[in-house]
Chains A and B, each alone.
Chain A
C-alpha cells in the first residue's frame, strides 16, 4: 500500500488509531453522567496551554496537557461543590480559556493565529517521532484507567450517590475521569483539533447506543466506530485534499445517522421476538393515553 510507505503517514495513522480508541473510551463515561460537552470545555481550556507553550517557548503539547488537567480538575470541583451558579462558572472557564489562548499566542514572538489553527483543527502531518512516543504513553494510561476500572467508573457515572454508599472513593474516581478526559483531549488535539475533540468523544458513543442495550457492548462498539472513522478519515485525507479532523467528525456523524435509521426496525424486531405481553401498542400511543374526561369527586377534601 502506497499510503504506508512514508514515515509521516505511518505516524499519522498510528496517532489516528490511538485517538480513535481512547476518545470514545473516555467519552462513554462523560455521556453516561450527562457531561457530554465536558470534552469541549477542556478543549477550550487547553488553548490557553497551547498559547502558554508558544509564549514560554515550551512544548505546546505538554503545556496544553498541563493546563487541560488543571482546568478539568477545576471543572470537576465546580461540578461537585458548585451550587446554583455552576453553569456560569463553567462558562467563564470555557471562554476564559479560549480568549487566554488567543491572547497569549499573539503576545508570543513565534506564534500567530496560523499556528493556533493547527491546534484548533488538527494537523496530522506535523506529528513527530517525539509526539508519537508521548501519544503512546498517554493512550496506554487512558486505556488502563478506562478498561481496568470500568466497573467502578460505571457505578460512579451511573448513580453517584449509590456509589458513595458502596464505599467507593467517588471523589477520587471523578477526578480520575476528569484527568483522563484532559489527557485524551490533548492527545486527540493533534488528530482532530481542539474544536472537534469533543465530537470524537461523544459521537461514536451516541452512534453505538442507538442499537445497543448494555454498557459493555456500547463500550466496545463505540471504540470500534471511533477507530474506523479515524482510520477512514485519515486515509481519505491522504488521497483527497481534505482536512482529516473535519472528515473524521463528519464520518462519525454519518455512522450515527445510519445506526439511528437502523435502530427502529431493530427495536421492533426485538420487541416481536420477546413475549407477547411485552408487545408495543402503537395504536394506543397514536390515540393518546386514556384520560378520563373529568375528575371524579374528591372525597379527601375537608374544610
Chain B
C-alpha cells in the first residue's frame, strides 16, 4: 500500500508521539474475507504507545472486522498483526489488552451480577489456576468505581439499561489494567449520561498512558480525546491523519472527495465490481 503525503503529514502533527515511541499495535497489508466477500483489502494501521486512534467508516466498511482481526477473532488471509512487537500468532500476554466488544442485546441464560461479570475480566491476570488475591478484588472494585456503577455492583446485569451495560463491559476490560484498550462501537445505543461517564473514564485511562483503538460510527463526545482518525471504506484505508473537524456522518472524510487520500484503493478501481447490495 502506498503511503501518501497527507498520511505521513498527519502522523507528524501528532504531537509527542514521535518515531521513537514504541509501536503497540500494527496491522500490515491485512486482507480478510467473510464468506467469499473481501472485507479488508490490504489495510495498514499502527498505533504508538499513548495514542488514541479512532477507526471510522460507514457500515460494512470493515472497521469491526479490522478490530476483530487484531484480537484474533477473524483470520487474515494475508498480511500481519503484531501486538507489542510480537506477531499475533505468538502473542500470549493478553493481560496487556483490554477488549470491549460491540454490545449485544442478548443477555446470557443465567443471571450474573455486575461484579461477577467485571471479575471475569480479571482472569486475564489470574489465569487458569491462580486464586484471586486481595489485589485482584481491589482491581475489580476500582474498575466498577471508574465507570460509576459502585452502587449497582450487586445488581443483575440483565436489569441494567443499555448504557449501564456498556459501562459494565468497559469495566470488565479495565479490570485487567490493560495497556491497550480496544473498543468496538462503545457509544452505540448509549444514553447521554452514560456517554459522559464513558468519555470521562476514557480520559482518565488516556491520561494514565493507555493506548486506545476505538471503532466509531461518528466522533461524537469522544472527539477531544482522539489524536488520529483512520477512515475505512470498502476495506481500504481512505484517510489516516488528524480527526475530521466536522461532526456528523456526512461530514466524514470518506464523504469528501478532497480527503480521499488513498486513490489506489478507490472502490471502483480495485478490479472489484462495486456492490450495491440489492442488485448484485
Q: Is B13 an interface residue (CB 8 A)?
A: no
Task: Report yes or no: B110 in contact with A164, Cβ–Cβ below 8 A.
Answer: no
Task: Report yes or no: A168 in contact with B112, Cβ–Cβ below 8 A.
Answer: no
> Interface digits, A185-218 against B, CB 8 Å rule (1 contact, 0 not)?
0000000000000000000010001001111101
- Give the most central of B99, B112, B172: most A CB within 10 Å: B112
A-side interface residues, number (CB < 8 Å): 32
- Shortest B146–chain A CB gap in Å is 18
Task: Report yes or no: B94 in contact with A151, Cβ–Cβ below 8 A.
Answer: no
| In the complex, chain A residues whose CB is within 8 Å of the CB of B73 | 161, 164-165
Task: Report yes or no: B111 in contact with A212, Cβ–Cβ below 8 A.
Answer: yes
Task: Report yes or no: A152 in contact with B112, Cβ–Cβ below 8 A.
Answer: no
Task: Report yes or no: B109 in contact with A166, Cβ–Cβ below 8 A.
Answer: no
Which 3 residue pairs of A and B lie closest in terms of their CB atoms, listed nearest first?
A167-B94, A155-B120, A166-B124
> Interface digits, A9-37 against B, CB 8 Å rule (1 contact, 0 not)?
00000000000000000001001111010
> Interface digits, B128-157 against A, CB 8 Å rule (1 contact, 0 not)?
100010000000000000000000001110
CA distance A169 to B109 in the complex (A): 22
| In the complex, chain A residues whose CB is within 8 Å of the CB of B99 | 162, 165
Within 8 A of A (CB), among B48-105: 71-73, 92-95, 97, 99, 101
Q: Is A159 an interface residue (CB 8 A)?
A: yes
CA distance A33 to B111 in the complex (A): 12
A residues neighboring B (CB under 8 Å): 28, 31-34, 36, 149, 151-152, 154-155, 157-159, 161-169, 205, 209, 212-216, 218, 300
Category for how many chain B residues contact A: 20 to 34
Task: Report yes or no: B120 in contact with A167, Cβ–Cβ below 8 A.
Answer: no
| In the complex, chain B residues whose CB is within 8 Å of the CB of A34 | 108-109
Contact A157-B108, Cβ < 8 Å, known A213-B113, A213-B159, A214-B154 = yes
Contact A159-B101, Cβ < 8 Å, known A152-B128, A166-B94 = yes
Q: Is B232 an interface residue (CB 8 A)?
A: no
Q: Is B194 an interface residue (CB 8 A)?
A: no
Task: Report yes or no: B176 in contact with A166, Cβ–Cβ below 8 A.
Answer: yes
CA distance A205 to B250 in the complex (A): 49
Task: Report yes or no: B111 in contact with A218, Cβ–Cβ below 8 A.
Answer: yes
CA distance A162 to B117 in the complex (A): 11
CA distance A209 to B71 in the complex (A): 33
Task: Report yes or no: B97 in contact with A165, Cβ–Cβ below 8 A.
Answer: yes
Task: Report yes or no: B71 in contact with A165, Cβ–Cβ below 8 A.
Answer: yes
CA distance A214 to B154 in the complex (A): 8
Contact A215-B110, Cβ < 8 Å, known A168-B123, A169-B128 = yes
- Shortest B45–chain A CB gap in Å is 18
| In the complex, chain A residues whose CB is within 8 Å of the CB of B211 | none
